[in-house]
Amino acid sequence: MMDLDTTASRRIFLIGFMCAGKSQVGKALAQLLELPFVDIDRVVEQRVGPLAPFIQREGEAAFRLQESTVLDELLKGDAAVISTGGGTPCEGDNLQRMKSAGITVWLDVPMAHLMSRIERAGGDRPLLFGLKGAAMHERVRTLMEEREGFYAQAQIIVQATDPIPVVAERIKMALKTIHTK
């Protein structure tokens, strides 16, 4: 198991845009590091039901409140690899709180790759609900522009276009350099 001896390195937060691979890479990384894996979106979903209908019914602000509640709990919890929602680090002081409680890792995926992944997923993301073609591309571009400055503040930035095991191993190696400083 990786040495996670300092308080600031007990939690590894994967941040990045929708379809960047946070959940899949997170599972692989957690296995490599022998840590539990937590997906904030899945925890919120367990509490409120499917996200798209919840957001349509209650609004994005209600979802962000649920997301922040789960984050609060995880910030007090044990060591884990945590997959955040794409907007989690952009809300309030969430990013600073994550950085204080652990290591943030941005899974950076170029726009062309993201669009391909989003289209393969069928545009099923709550913030893209009902959008297709040019409208979906424009919404993704706008959201990325709004969020990229937050993501870029991560302590580790990893290009995430390679296969999942390669990306997970790359993060593991980057974490070791942080712990040896």
- Least confident interval from 30-34, 126-130, 162-166: 126-130
pLDDT at 171: 96
pTM of the model: 0.88
Nearest to 106 by CA among 116, 117, 98, 97: 98
How far apart (Å, rounded) are the C-alpha atoms in residues 17 and 149?
12
pLDDT at 88: 93
pLDDT at 10: 79
- Helix axis angle for 51-58 and 40-48, nearest 10°, is 70
Read off the pLDDT of residues 1-36 as tens digits, 9 standing for 90 and up. 444 444 345 799 999 988 889 999 999 999 999 999
Provide the residue count of the chain.
Answer: 181
**Which residue segments constitute the domains of the chain, with CATH numbers given?**
7-179 (3.40.50.300)
How far apart (Å, rounded) are the C-alpha atoms in residues 103 and 23?
16
For 161-180, what is the HEC assignment?
CCCHHHHHHHHHHHHHHHHC
